Amino acid sequence: MGMTMTQKILAAHAGLDHVEPGQLIEARLDSVLGNDVTTPVAVDVFENAGFTRVFDPERIYIVLDHYTPCKDIASARLCKRARDFARAHHITHFYDTGSAGIEHALLPEKGLVLPGDCMIGADSHTCTYGALGAFSTGVGSTDMAGSMASGTCWFRVPSAIRVHLKGKPGKDVSGKDVILHLIGTIGVDGALYRSLEFSGPGVASLSMDDRLTISNMAIEAGAKNGIFPVDEVTRAYLENRSARAWTACDADPDAVYEQVVEIDLDTLEPTVSLPHLPSNTRPVREVRGLKIDQAVIGSCTNGRISDMRSAAAVFRGRRVAPGVRCIVIPATQEVYLQCIHEGLMDIFIQAGCAVSTPTCGPCLGGHMGCMCEGERAVSTTNRNFVGRMGAKSSEVILASPAVAAASAVQGAIALPSDL
């Protein structure tokens, strides 16, 4: 029986010729990731367990992004705990305010995760790096602590669902629409502890930013990870980003999948996810006119330069509607600089948007855009659970950057073509 991409990566890192779904393995890790929320907890576990050194200071990545720049005394304490640990253990890849960005946008940008890698992160959206042909998955802070010391982690080998893509996305359809459509089709537990493996001729029509968005939200379907094959788009993205050697893992022709889901990209429409589950999806045309109080454009899902360009194309020559707050957050310092160089910042500010330094901030109701009771936001983030962005009675509608920008201008859910 053949193996999937994920199973091949796990077998290689476990030193085995073959693995099967359900098998327990101990795998060698290429890297371990933590942020300002999860790293301090992991540090406590690390020290309480009596560990005195990390397995490799160059393979541990710590990014301060969730509540930073620090919003209060409590978040400042968390950052100091992570900062002190990074200094004590000579962590090479430590990213603080001014050099940081949103972790899942920053690591691919810097070439820190590569095809064939096996990595974990104490953040559920660590599955983002499957876009690069890596196995990456989120874990708890206790697992992060043990893995920082040992460089290994236990896994139960996941079975897989193959998502076969054909066709090409049409106007105003992006990777966000693809993943929202998929989650709406299979549900928030439709891929529970399975690998979502994307394949088919439609993959070639998706940019790397599209793939990063899709892999990022694999967890919203319950998946252990989401992964794309390595192709020319991947190779072009990785060129000049990293000198470390890598090996791509392709699925065997006789790999076994529990289910095959086919998506015709030609037929997809701009899509939103209504409160309070990512699976509560609708075509935008069905919910036009739903009033909003706030728009958020950014996050680890949609804060890359292509997302900024998409939003700016809508805002050019237009203004945010009266009574609507629009917050734009480039995901990294490099994206921020590129926005400046391309004149996108001028467009955002002239349109009446507030532009923030890179931060997760509003995505988790942390800061830079919390909502009070009864307010509704359209957001390019990845979750719209009850109370996700503030008060329990507030609402979040998930959308692409183009739809979020058009909605900000219209004051209600809208398509760019409506303007």
Same domain, 58 and 96: yes
- Mean pLDDT over 66-75 rounds to 94
Same domain, 156 and 281: no
Same domain, 200 and 301: no
pLDDT more than 70, % of the chain: 100
Same domain, 238 and 280: no
Same domain, 26 and 156: yes
- Mean pLDDT over 337-351 rounds to 97
Same domain, 173 and 286: no
- 268, pLDDT greater than 90: yes
- Mean pLDDT over 176-201 rounds to 96
- 250, pLDDT greater than 90: yes
Residues 3-15: tens digit of each pLDDT: 999 999 999 999 9
Which residues constitute the domain of residue 147? 5-263
- Mean pLDDT over 40-48 rounds to 97
Same domain, 226 and 97: yes
Q: Which two tokens stand for residue 39?
A: 């790293």
pLDDT bucket at 251, cuts 50 / 70 / 90 = very high
- Mean pLDDT over 291-306 rounds to 97
Domain finish residue from 227, 247, 263: 263
Domain finish residue from 263, 298, 326: 263
Same domain, 220 and 302: no
Same domain, 142 and 228: yes
Same domain, 188 and 43: yes
Q: Which two tokens stand for residue 159?
A: 């079975």
pTM: 0.95
Quote the pLDDT of residue 243.
Answer: 80
Same domain, 281 and 153: no
Mean model confidence pLDDT for the chain: 96
pLDDT bucket at 358, cuts 50 / 70 / 90 = very high
Count up the domains in the chain and report the number. Answer: 2
Quote the pLDDT of residue 352.
Answer: 97
Same domain, 281 and 225: no
Domain finish residue from 216, 236, 263: 263
Quote the pLDDT of residue 242.
Answer: 84
Quote the pLDDT of residue 124.
Answer: 95
* CATH code of the domain in which 298 resides: 3.30.499.10
